[in-house]
Chains A and B, each alone.
Chain A
Amino acid sequence: MNPYQIAIALWTLVIKEIKRFTRIWPQTLLPPSITMTMYFIIFGNLIGSRIGEMDGYSYMDFIVPGLIMMAVITNSYSNVASSFFSNKFQRSVEEMMVSPMPNWVILSGFVLGGMTRGLGVGLIVTVVSLFFTRLSVAHPVLTVLVVVLTAALFAIGGFINALLGKKFDDISIVPTFILTPLTYLGGVFYSISLLPEFWQGVSMLNPILYMVNVFRYGFLGVSDIPVGWALAAIFTFIVVLFGVALWMLERGKGIRS
């Protein structure tokens, strides 16, 4: 395929993915918005007012970046995981496999679709947060960069999950038992400086901690960990996971007999 045809194929796939999640918006866009509103009301307003300050900011201001990031992570991941698995389940993935579209285009199409949903929900949550606090962004470029990279990373993760999944249960296991605990323990609701030294060390093994902290640094200008280091880690994860996903796709793992 020439570059123009590749661009058409990629565009087709991305638009198809966007149409999919907007068609079923009550399942994809509405629930995270409501959940996050609940977080803002309960943790930010009701409990947060009693907690006081965290790292020199009101508790509401502290948790907003984390909650936006949580929405981006879960939605980027689950969009690709459920969409690609559903394509596998309905065998419509064969439409792509018999076409001359390169595997990297298939992977990128799903990842971009997942990122669009993740970032879209992130934007909705950001707008909702404006009803509860006045947001200020200390480093706008860094904020956008880290949220886009995070969305990409988890969208790729969702793709690998869908490739490996054999039944629908398999694509809910990772979000429920790995992603959600890591997100909750990734400094969304607290600063790791509150933890004993041992648990601070353990928390440093959690990749989500880096993303939440850099994102928070983008908003507030404070972070528990070095920003450059965190960005390098996110970027490395993206390159490695993209390579793994592409290799699996080339080998036909989970989709070719």
Chain B
Amino acid sequence: MAFVQQSSPHAHSARPTSRVMLWVLIAALPGLLAQTLFFGWGNLINVVFCIAVAIASEAALLKLRKKPVAFFIKDNTAAVTGLLLGLSLPQFAPWWVSAVAVISAIVVAKQLYGGLGSNPFNPAMVGYALVLVSFPVAMTTNWAEPAMLWDGAPGFGETLATIASGQQTAVDGWAMATPLDEYKHKITTHTAAEVLNHPTFGEGVAKGWEWVNAAFLAGGLLLIGLRIITWHIPAGFLGGLIVMSLAFGNNADLYAPLSLHLLAGGTMLGAFFIATDPVSAATSHQGKLIYGAGIGILIYLIRTWGNYPDAVAFSVLLMNFAVPFIDHYTPPRTYGHHKARRGVPGSQG
């Protein structure tokens, strides 16, 4: 009888990529739940639609590239890209905005670069940035007014009809500027107290948003606990943002306060779910800290002095550019060596 010939190791842990991605999907559920509770059905509809479009476009491209379709679809990575876009896009974003974002993410940012593992940029953020610069109106006027699902939020049917209608701007009275947007534009002419009177801020930091961010934080901690992500990128991300805010933004009458930076907008979703995309992030622990810190710092810079109220997508993409550079200079020190071997073969340091 012929024995199986195999190179060691002969044992393998049972956590394939598909399961890793499934855990990411599961860990995002509290955030999605919070979004639905506080902002209505929009995000849920977007998530389902985006995942469907993501899987369809992934399958189409795999077929075009003559790759085994089922084998790659089963890794759940396209679903995660769809999920992230569904969570980040405005609740009432017309369907074609979501579709353009997802298709450009999967087709251009992922498959045209060689598919899973070969994309230098975070696909979801490429899609998001593309629609953000291409459809500024649709991307800024469709954020749902914070209203409890059972108390004033538009119903499921109405929301679905709005999204499906393809209208550039949502029904009047449903949508509202996001807290970051509101603060950024009002603070130049008003005091902090006046700005915070706006209903979008509510009683706490930012009505609804604070809970959504808390839920994503909880999901992120679950991912760290499951060792699916390490703490380095979120820590760098939040650390960079906090340091910048404390250093430059301590006057609430001039700049958005730290609490708003952390709990409004896409901060926690970005820190735990988007920036941690392993394919486009830095490799070593030190590199991950630098990479995360770079994103946090850029977010503060763009939110405060740039043109956009939120800046996760641009910051992530900019730091994606820097990843090869960061990796180059941050290899870990190997056991038995005095110091890390930086750079390329032949170079010093």
Question: Are A and B physically bound partners?
Answer: no
Residue positions of B touching A, CB distance < 8 A: none
